[in-house]
Amino acid sequence: MRMLLLIIFMAVLWSNCSSENKTIPIDSVMKIAQQQYNALLVEIDGKKLLPRTIEKGELKLVEPEDWTSGFFPGALWYLYQYSGDEKWKAAAEKYSSLLEDIQYFTGNHDIGFMMYCSYGNGYRITKNKQYRELLIQSAKSLCTRYNPKVGCIRSWDWNQKKWQYPVIIDNMMNLELLLWAFHETGDSSFFKIAVAHADNTMKNHFREDFSTYHVVDYDPKTGQPRIKQTWQGLSDSSAWARGQAWGLYGFTMMYRETGNLKYLKLAEKIAEFILKHIPHDMVPYWDFDVDSDSEPRDASAAAIMASAFFDLSKYGSESSGKYLNAAIKILQSLSSEKYLAKPGENNHFILMHSVGSKPGQSEIDVPLNYADYYYMEALLKASRRMQ
């Protein structure tokens, strides 16, 4: 009887969520996305560069070595996944190919973003064997930045007068490449490095309220944390919005890939912090410690959160319905005229109003390619949930 009541409750819960889900204009938004990216492709044709954002009113293009380089080809793969139109596959292949040499890149931790968002999606969709080899080499390159004494992958090499071994919360996102490589090859070294990094991030990055520090600097000789601070947030003690999003997504992914409940429990605690502090329209200010409408919102953080909440809602928790509703509400806001660009505007990016680094006076209230990428990812997840 108790099981029957639980089944009925879950059915009613999903029915309510499903009806709300139908208010997300997925088809019309993806039509706009295709219009915008068609125009972007025309604008960058013949240039071996990738669109990142707007700078001084003009489209900013970046080299393959830029940390954001994988998001544009990744978005093209999503458009192909959604539409089945071969022109998007051709474009995705073309712009992914610009990153081929990045498989050997060891200059920072961002090879996960660069290669898994581009070639990772390409391999998932096409099973191209060449992509598989590129990704395995990319995982090997990422592993060169691991220090077993610290138990983490080093994020950055710059600012060495201040930091000895900096690890940023963003780095959780790059572990997906390692776990993919483990599942694909059976090489346990990939798994061990990913788990060690996640465990030490869990131990050292989070405060009692489950907000996260942006940067933890370690002593590479002792493996102990030296400094806990921010680089892109309001202050060392604040909760940078995109950092919270990276944490939510990263630990949800770790649970999905390992089945270890400690990662699920942490993801849920990060989720509760976000839901407690996020504005009513579910699009955070650039830092959770600011709450004035004079401060910019960060649509990129919201898009990452939406994608993560869709995943978190699948894992059987008593809060699953709450997480699903959060994902839906975020997509509803991002799909409104406040954040969704009109065709032909916004330099052909999809979402408006993201923030790169307000303290660095860089990319404030502009479109960002990773906002578009995670927005499309979340829309595809919403579409699957509706089927």
Residues annotated as catalytic are 110, 170
What does the alpha-carbon distance between residue 174 and residue 139 come to, in Å, rounded to a whole number? 9
Q: What are phi and psi of 167, to 5 degrees?
A: -130, 125
Q: How far apart are CA 80 and CA 84, in angstroms?
A: 5
Termini Cα distance of the chain:
29
Write down the number of H helices and E strands in the chain.
Answer: 14, 9
Residues 6+ apart with CB under 8 A from 252: 263, 264, 267, 308, 311, 312
Amino acid type, 362: S
Return d(Cα 155, Cα 300) in angstroms, integer. 21
Distances (CA, A) of 55 to 52, 61, 287, 365, 366: 9, 10, 22, 11, 8
Phi, psi of 72 (to 5 degrees): -65, -50
What are the residues whose beta carbons fall under 8 Å from the beta carbon of 227, sequence distance 6 or more?
Answer: 162, 163, 215, 216, 217
Assigned token pair, 53:
């954002």
Please name the helix (run of DSSP H) or strand (run of DSSP E) that holds residue 173, with its range, or none.
none
Looking at residue 76, its amino acid is L
Per-residue CA distances from 141 to 112, 135, 176, 303 (Å):
10, 10, 14, 28
